[in-house]
Amino acid sequence: MVPATLALALALALGAGRAAAQGSAAQNMYLEASMYQGFDSSPCPRLLTASGAVGSTALSMPSGTLYRVLAQSDIDGFVSGAPSGVQYAIVMPTSLATPDNIAALRGTGKLAGVILLVDTALPQAFSPESKCPNCAFGLYAGQGNQYNWNPKGTGLSSLSFDFPIFSMSAISAQSAQNIAAINEALDFNAQRGYTKYPLYAMQFDELMFAAQDSATCLRRGNCKPIGGYSIWTTFSTNMTATDNKPVVFVASKMDSVAFIHDFSWGGAQRSGFVGMLGVIEALSRLPAATAMPTLPKHVVFAAFDAESWAFAGSQRMVMDLSQPFSCRSVNDQPTSGCRITGAACSSPCRPTTDFTRISFSQIESFIELDTLGDITRPGGATANYYLHVDSLSTKNTNLINNFRATATAPIFNGSQPVAVSISAAAASDSTNARLPPSSAMAFLAKRDIPAVVLSDYQTEYSNRFFGSEFDDGSQWTANNVASICAAANITARGIYKQAGGTDANAQAISVNCTLIGQLLDCFTRNVTCQLLRSIGVGSSTSLFSGYSSVYFPDRVGFLASVANVQMQTWTSSSTFGFCNSTVPCPKSYQCISSTCMLSLTRFHQAYGTGLDADDSGVFSVVNASAGTWTESDWNTSRVRVFKAPSLLYQGMQLGVGLVLTLGTGAFTWFMRKSLVRRTKRD
């Protein structure tokens, strides 16, 4: 079948997004709705697990006098001296959003809500994730003290708030204008000492429907599993689970997070994925006589989605690979339990069953690309990479030896000569901190497979903005690109040799640094770059959120859609003809960029292994100890500014005089909902 082009898919995404945005105002707010133009904005939503909830919700629609916080001293000043008897809407820089500061503001009893303005200057460091992200679901869960890979983590993202939190970032002309308007209102209020009315006030609408925990909200039908689709590919187009060939498994993660999901730009978080795409492309250029399908082993490449949520992508992949699959029913038409046209299996709902062609017991090694290039810092003349292992067993050290090397990165677009080295993380001080949080963990939990995780950090995350809005790729330079390219080059060679290729043939492999630079640019700075335009991507904004969002059977995320086009193009073993939506390809072929391609590139479901759907598509918690992340439903979320003529008006729903409504409609939906594309079997 012919997949929709990305441009078409994008149009669908926007259409679906607008439709899903639903009723903007309740009936008793008719007047208001006509006064205030309604837009969506970027909230901190409520998320749930089997054991509780995190994030924000506001049962009423609180409002408060706009109050400016620019520095720590303003928070201290507010706590000690804000006029009482009034509720406040605190507007503060994102970099000040620490659990202590938020708790102090809340502790005054004068907090109506918070607006976080994403700082235009980068802070020293900022990570709202925990110190050991996802470790409760990792290989070492329950083993006492967890190693702190992310010591800068404040844990803000794991907290629950009973007041609204919204955020704004100057990423479009519209949002910059909104921020300017807020600043004018703040200037006005500050000049009046926050006491002389009239004053500007803000009202928050952030009602989250879900409460308590995932089991409860799934039962009530007011939350959805966090997830999406991972994507995997192999050059072994005719691979089967019974062909007795060992499998080399290469992985990276595709999704990213930030405290405010709409701003999950995932700069550093996408760098391993960029490196892996560079590796696949390089391996696709080998001469036919020494090409990947001629090797004694298969190599499977997987980019996991929703890894930030209890490793949903990798854990579900392992779950599906490690138990026998049996399809109870197949239906050509979408069913209520499986809204996918042409699903390979309707019950359980699977767009494709080709994952059964990967033999879990044949996986002989696992190579993961975590963050590369240290891209939250301008690159220097040296770049050190580290190979992490669970234990320093002979099998693991053999694997390390295949990937450790030094190289001088080729000059890329004016970069200086960067000396790149890849070595064992544990080597220099002989203590082994074991594996950082990684996809490898899900595989090792089931079987003792030799595994290495390659990263640009040794003892703690290099990404000083892990899981935050500042991880945006604004800082990298040509040196970082050269560094990633050289590391990917060594990795590509190592993978080739691990799959049984000779050292001599491996010398021909060379990662395309221009492509690495383009991918990094497209994924972290300019989504309408030349490369993505050529495959039909169009967007009105330059950045896109990598939050995996919620799982819908018929919705594939933006990066997975892009990767699908690229992976099919690079790994196809046969291509021919012309195709489009009316001129289809024969069975087994897919229409990619108007060409029929035969490639074993497939999507795979990625949502918590503690969740599952019944035959009518209704999810429930099936294992409370495994990943059970869900996101609350909500109708609309927005903030409004109005002029309160007196203290009496404070908190009243009807503001006097239109000032503005904040948020950016289609833009937000583009980021949140990603690209829509029907998933198809081949």
Contact positions toward ligand NAG, by CB under 6 A?
A: 22-23, 209, 238, 243, 293, 410, 413-414, 478, 485-486, 489, 507, 510-515, 517-518, 526, 528-530, 542, 580-583, 623, 625-626, 635
d(CA 643, CA 20): 31
Whether the Cβ atoms of residue 294 and residue 238 lie closer than 8 Å to each other = no
Residue closer to ligand NAG (CB basis): 72 or 625: 625
190's enclosing H/E stretch is helix 173-191
User: Which single residue brings its beta carbon nearest to ligand NAG?
Assistant: 23
> Closest distance between ligand NAG and the C-beta of residue 432, in Å?
24
**In whole angstroms, how close is the CB of 178 to ligand NAG at the nearest point?**
20
Start-to-end CA span in the chain (Å):
7
* Half-sphere exposure for 554 (CA within 13 Å, toward CB): 20
Q: Which is nearer to ligand NAG, 401 or 530 (CB)?
A: 530
Q: Sign of dihedral through CA atoms 107, 109, 112, 115? A: negative
Query: What burial class does residue 59 get, using C-beta atoms within 10 Å of its C-beta: 0-12 exposed, 13-18 middle, 19+ buried?
Result: exposed
Q: In 3-state terms, what secondary structure has residue 232?
A: strand
Query: Do 566 and 277 meet the contact criterion of CB atoms below 8 Å apart?
Result: yes
- What distance in Å separates the CA atoms of residue 210 and residue 207, rounded to the nearest whole number? 9
Q: Name the minimum Å distance from CB 582 to ligand NAG.
A: 4
Please report how close the Cβ of residue 628 comes to ligand NAG at its closest, in angstroms: 10
Question: Which pair of structure tokens corresponds to residue 64?
Answer: 């408060």
At its nearest, how many Å lie between ligand NAG and the CB of residue 203?
Answer: 16
Cα 267 to Cα 148, 153, 270, 354: the distances in Å are 22, 17, 6, 31
Q: Cβ closer to ligand NAG: 45 or 351?
A: 45
Closer residue to ligand NAG (CB): 351 or 501:
501
Q: Look up tokens 């709409």; give the residue.
A: 262
Least distance in angstroms from the C-beta of 321 to ligand NAG: 15
| C-beta closer to ligand NAG: residue 184 or 612 | 612
Q: How far is the CB of 23 from ligand NAG (least distance, A)?
A: 3
- Of residues 480 and 650, the one with the C-beta less far from ligand NAG: 480
Alpha-carbon gap, residue 59 to 206, rounded angstroms: 8
- Tell me the C-alpha distance between 313 and 219, whole Å: 23
- Residue 581 CB, shortest distance to ligand NAG, in Å, is 5
| Closest by Cα among 139, 357, 340 to 236 | 357
Q: Considering the complex, what minimum distance in angstroms separates the CB of residue 151 from ligand NAG?
A: 26
Q: In angstroms, what is the minimal distance from the CB of 675 to ligand NAG?
A: 18
Quote the least distance from Cβ 481 to ligand NAG, whole Å: 7
Stated as kind and residue range, the H or E segment containing 593 is: none
Contact at 8 Å (CB) between 57 and 162? yes
Q: How far is CA 514 from CA 281, 286, 410, 413, 481, in A?
A: 12, 18, 11, 8, 9
CB of 400 to ligand NAG, least distance (A): 18
Q: Count CB-CB contacts under 10 A for residue 542.
A: 16
Structure tokens that stand for 493 in this block: 């060679």
- Full 3-state SS string of 171-187: CCHHHHHHHHHHHHHHH
Residue number with CB closer to ligand NAG (8 or 104): 8
Mapping DSSP onto H, E and C, the string for 311-334 reads CHHHHHHHHHHCCCCCCCECCCCC
- Nearer to ligand NAG by Cβ, of 68 and 297: the residue is 297
Single out the residue of 537, 509, 627, 562 nearest to residue 303, CA to CA.
562
Peptide bond between residue 348 and the one before it cis (omega within 30 degrees of 0): yes
Question: CB-wise, 225 or 517, nearer to ligand NAG?
Answer: 517
What is the C-alpha separation between 513 and 644, in angstroms, rounded?
A: 57
- Residue 413 CB, shortest distance to ligand NAG, in Å, is 4
Minimum distance from CB of 41 to ligand NAG (Å)? 17
Nearer to ligand NAG, 102 or 441 (CB): 441
CB closer to ligand NAG out of 47 and 522: 522
Chain position carrying tokens 């109506």: 112
Of 195 and 413, nearer to ligand NAG (C-beta) is: 413
Rounded least distance, CB 158 to ligand NAG, Å: 19
CA pair distance 321, 640, nearest whole angstrom: 49
* Packing angle of the helix pair 558-571, 6-20 (nearest 10 deg): 160
Q: Are 532 and 522 in contact (CB under 8 A)?
A: yes
Calpha distance 590→587 (Å, rounded) = 8
Residue 315 or 397: which CB sits closer to ligand NAG? 315
**CB of 341 or CB of 542, closer to ligand NAG:** 542
Q: How far is the CB of 82 from ligand NAG (least distance, A)?
A: 32
Q: Which is nearer to ligand NAG, 53 or 185 (CB)?
A: 53
Question: Smaller CB distance to ligand NAG: residue 110 or 678?
Answer: 678
